[in-house]
Amino acid sequence: MEKIILSENHRRSVASSLFIIEELLYEIENVLSNPSNGYFLKLNNDISDQKRKEYYNIINETRQIIRHLAVKYELSVKTFTISRFIESRKMKMWEVISDTMSKRLKGYGEFPAEYAYEFDNDINRLQKIINNL
């Protein structure tokens, strides 16, 4: 295979796109093997064992193509520790929950003043738990 050298900007952009695709593949694979049973996200398993195998094969083929593109275009590989990965997800959760405080919800209409204190305490409790991750 002949390698193709792209500009640094193009390599960074392509690598970022493939990184996102790879992350989404992991999400799909995780859902296939461990369907969510959360409170706000419930997934009913409507996938047959045969279809699940087909999806796994497609996921593996997609990963092979991603690896091929990474080598062919000399794309940089991002290496993370699990702790850094957890920390990045924790920060994203913190960002989302911070925007959920009563004073930040004014863009959706005036938050009922009589509930603001209790609501903010509930959100703060959630935020403290997230901080423990």
Is the confidence at residue 36, as pLDDT, over 80?
Answer: no
- Say if pTM beats, i.e. exceeds, 0.85: no
**Above 90 in pLDDT, residue 91?**
yes
Cα 58-62-63 angle, rounded to 5 deg? 120
Report d(CA 133, CA 129) in Å as an integer. 7
pLDDT in the model for residue 106: 87
77 band by pLDDT with thresholds 50, 70 and 90: confident
pLDDT of 80: 86
Task: Give the three-class secondary structure for 109.
Answer: strand
Handedness of CA 2, 8, 12, 14 (dihedral sign): negative
